[in-house]
C-alpha cells in the first residue's frame, strides 16, 4: 500500500457487493480492529463492484468514530465508477484514498465542518397534489440543512404534502434532524404532512433511536408513500 505499509497494520478485503448485511459485517470488523492498530485500517476494494448508500454512510460514520483515536480509514484499489461516487458527493475528503500508487490524504475535517465541500442535490417531482423531493449526496449541517430548508419552503408555497426520497442520500447528519422536524410541523399545521421513503439502514437506525417514526412515517418506496395518501 505505497509508503504507508509500515504504519498501517490491518487490511480488510472488501466484498464484491458492499451492500445490506455485508455493510454491518465490515463495520463490525473495523470496530473490532481499532485497538490493534497504530495508524489505521486499509480497505481493499479491488474485488468490489458495487457500493450502496448504506455502505458509504457507514464508512463515513465509522471514520468519524475512529478519528479521535488517531486512526484513519485508507481506501485502496477503487475502480473508477466507485471512486466517482465518493468524489461526486465530496465524501472522498474523509478518507485516505490510494489508487494506482497515488495517495490522496483525508482532510482534517468533520461532517459538520462548514468549509467542507459536501454536496447535496435535490431533484423535484410533482405527482398530482404531492411534491417528491429526491435528496442526493450528503445532508450535512449547517450547509445541507439550509439548502434543504430553502427548497422545502419553496415547495411548500404550492404543496402541503411532501415526500422525501432518500434512496440516493448517502449520509444524514443527525444535526439536520431539527430542520426536518420543523418542516414537518409546518406542513401538519397547514393540513398536510411529510413522509420519507427509500431510507438506508443508517437513516432508519437514526429514526428508530430518536423515535422519529411516530412523527415522520417511513415507507419502503415511493409507491408506498404515495399510496398512503390515497
Question: Does residue 130 contact residue 159 with C-beta atoms inside 8 Å?
Answer: yes
Q: Which of 104, 131, 161 is the last residue of a domain?
A: 104
Residue 161 within any structural domain of the chain: yes
Domain hosting residue 169, numbered range: 120-227
Same domain for 125 and 99: no
CA 205 to chain centre: 12
* pLDDT score recorded for residue 64: 79
Residues 142 and 208 in one domain: yes
Q: Are residues 212 and 125 in the same domain?
A: yes
Q: Which pLDDT score, from 0 to 100, does residue 177 have?
A: 85
Across 67-206, the runs of DSSP E, i.e. the strands, are: 72-76, 96-99, 102-104, 120-127, 130-139, 161-165, 169-172, 193-197
72 domain residue, yes or no: yes
What lies within 8 Å, CB to CB, of 137 at 6+ separation is: 88, 89, 90, 118, 119, 120, 121, 168, 169, 170
Alpha-carbon 23 to chain mean position: 13
Q: Are 120 and 147 in contact (CB under 8 A)?
A: yes
In a domain, residue 29? The reply is yes
Whether this prediction's pTM lies above 0.75 is answered by: no
Residues 148, 96: one domain? no
Mean pLDDT of 136-159: 83
Nearest-angstrom CA–CA distance, 54 and 171: 8
Same domain, 124 and 69: no
pLDDT at 79 exceeding the cut of 50: yes
Residue 182 inside a domain? The answer is: yes
In this predicted structure, the answer to whether residue 126 has a pLDDT above a threshold of 80 is yes
Tell me how far apart the alpha carbons of residues 106 and 91 are, in angstroms, rounded to a whole number. 10
Residues above pLDDT 70, as percent of the chain: 84
What does pLDDT average to over the chain?
A: 82
Helix (H) or strand (E) run with residue 218 in it:
strand 218-219
pLDDT of residue 102: 52
92 and 62 housed in the same domain: yes
Q: Could you tell me if 9 and 57 lie in one domain?
A: yes
Would you give the distance in Å from CA 127 to the centre of its chain? 26
Residue 115 has pLDDT above 50, yes or no: no
Last residue of a domain, one of 104, 133, 151: 104
Q: In the prediction, which pLDDT does 3 show?
A: 45
Within 10 A of 169 (CB to CB), how many other CB atoms are there?
28
Query: With contact defined as beta carbons under 8 Å apart, do 166 and 52 qualify?
Result: no
| Residue 179, domain CATH | 3.30.750.24
Number of domains the chain is built from: 2
The three cell numbers locating residue 31: 470496530
Residues 66 and 136 in one domain: no
Beta bridge partners of residue 120, listed in sequence order:
137
Amino acid at each position: 500500500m505505497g509508503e504507508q505499509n509500515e504504519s498501517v497494520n490491518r487490511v480488510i478485503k472488501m466484498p464484491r457487493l458492499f451492500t445490506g448485511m455485508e455493510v454491518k459485517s465490515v463495520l463490525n470488523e473495523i470496530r473490532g480492529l481499532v485497538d490493534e492498530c497504530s495508524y489505521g485500517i486499509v480497505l481493499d476494494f479491488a474485488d468490489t463492484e458495487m457500493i450502496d448508500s448504506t455502505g458509504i454512510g457507514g464508512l463515513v460514520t465509522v471514520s468519524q468514530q475512529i478519528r479521535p483515536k488517531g486512526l484513519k480509514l485508507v481506501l485502496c484499489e477503487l475502480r473508477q465508477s466507485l471512486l466517482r461516487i465518493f468524489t461526486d458527493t465530496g465524501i472522498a475528503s474523509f478518507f485516505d484514498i490510494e489508487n494506482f500508487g497515488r495517495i490522496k490524504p483525508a482532510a482534517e475535517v468533520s461532517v459538520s465542518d462548514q468549509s467542507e465541500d459536501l454536496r447535496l442535490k435535490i431533484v423535484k417531482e410533482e405527482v398530482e397534489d404531492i411534491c417528491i423531493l429526491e435528496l442526493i449526496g450528503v445532508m450535512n449541517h449547517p450547509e445541507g440543512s439550509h439548502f434543504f430548508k430553502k427548497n422545502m419552503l419553496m415547495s411548500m408555497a404550492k404543496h402541503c404534502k411532501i415526500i422525501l426520497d432518500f434512496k440516493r442520500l448517502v449520509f444524514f447528519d443527525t444535526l439536520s434532524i431539527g430542520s426536518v422536524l420543523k418542516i414537518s410541523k409546518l406542513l401538519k399545521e397547514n393540513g398536510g404532512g411529510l413522509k420519507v421513503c427509500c431510507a438506508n439502514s443508517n437513516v432508519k437506525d437514526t429514526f428508530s433511536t430518536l423515535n422519529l417514526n411516530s412523527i415522520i412515517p417511513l415507507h419502503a418506496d415511493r409507491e408506498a408513500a404515495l399510496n398512503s395518501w390515497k
